[in-house]
Structure 1
Amino acid sequence: MADIRVLIVEDDPFIAMDLETAVADQLGDEAELIVVESVAKARQAASGRLSCALLDIDVVDGKTFEVADTLQRIGIPFVFVSGSAPQEVPKPLRQVRFLRKPFSTREIAAFVMAAIGGLPSESIA
């Protein structure tokens, strides 16, 4: 598992810390967590190798839909973690899992474990 890379796109530092803690508690030092607060930085991070991603929709320089589209196209599992309404997601991305804020750390951990092959996807509630 030493090559697990998780992208977290969140512009609120407290929520980013909660997401980072939820993933780190599950994976420990076995994962590299890439935490960014903007679409520009997320775009850059998405061009590298990733295991999965947690995307807020509205961040400092726009919406993450372009990043989500790229991740979907290259087959990287991701989830929207947002206070936005699910209806705001463009139709081609509406089948993507959506966790509404406030999220539970159990949901975050279950998504990450399923994405990296640690849990069957049916266990994501």
Structure 2
Amino acid sequence: MRRRRILIVEDDPMVALDLEAIVLGATDADVAVANSVKEASRALSEAEFDAALLDIDVLDGKTFPVAHLLAECGTPFAFVSGARREEVPLPLRQAPFLPKPYDPQDIERTFLAGLASRG
């Protein structure tokens, strides 16, 4: 059985490291980090992911195209962002939204717990 894979899309290296530590502390998943829409899209084309955490504003724009790809594949994701929830396009607003600064326990509760319940 393959290990779960989690994609983190975050352009601030310190925040990316923090999110990775939260994920690794709560799961035994493999984590991939991308700092741009281009990198995230490449990662999604090369591997299957079980879930993703997305900052909205990254180096080359907004991660909404990545979110649409994840939604089309049925891959759960959450936005972890300093942006406002109202900026999220309506079709993507069903995704959990965790505002920065975030509480690590909120990420575990609202997102990683849901991933664990998927088996």
Give the TM-score normalised by structure 2: 0.91
Q: Structure 2: any 5+ residue segments left out of the alignment?
A: none
TM-fit CA distance, 1:78: 0.1
**Counterpart of 1:103 in structure 2: which amino acid?**
Y
- Identify the residue that residue 55 of structure 1 maps to in structure 2: 54
Question: Could you say which residue in structure 1 is the equivalent of 2:31?
Answer: 33
Matched residue SS, 2:102: coil
Aligned to 1:73: 72
What do the CA deviations read for 1:45-90 (whole angstroms, capped 9, x no partner)? 2232111000000000111000000100110000000000001111
- Aligned residues with identical type, % of pairs: 48
Supply the AA of the counterpart residue of 2:63.
Answer: T
What is residue 14 of structure 2 aligned with on the other side?
A: 14
- Indicate yes or no: 2:42 matched with 1:44: yes
SS at match of 1:25: helix
> 1:35 and 1:42 mapped to 2: Cα distance?
8
Structure 1 unaligned regions, length at least 5: 120-125
Q: Could you say if the C-alpha distance between residues 26 and 118 of structure 1 is closer, same or farther in structure 2, counting changes exceeding 3 Å?
A: farther
Give the equivalent residue in structure 2 for 1:104: 103
Partner amino acid, structure 2, of 1:79: A
Contact 1:52 1:116 in 2 (8 A): no
Which residue matches 1:4?
4
Q: Which residue of structure 2 lines up, in the alignment, with residue 123 of structure 1?
A: none
The separation in 2 between residues aligned to 1:69 and 1:51, in whole angstroms, is: 15
TM, length-normalised to structure 1: 0.87
After superposition, the CA RMSD in angstroms is 1.6
Is this contact kept in 2: 1:9–1:55, CA < 8 A?
yes
| Cα distance in 2, alignment partners of residues 25 and 105 from structure 1 | 10
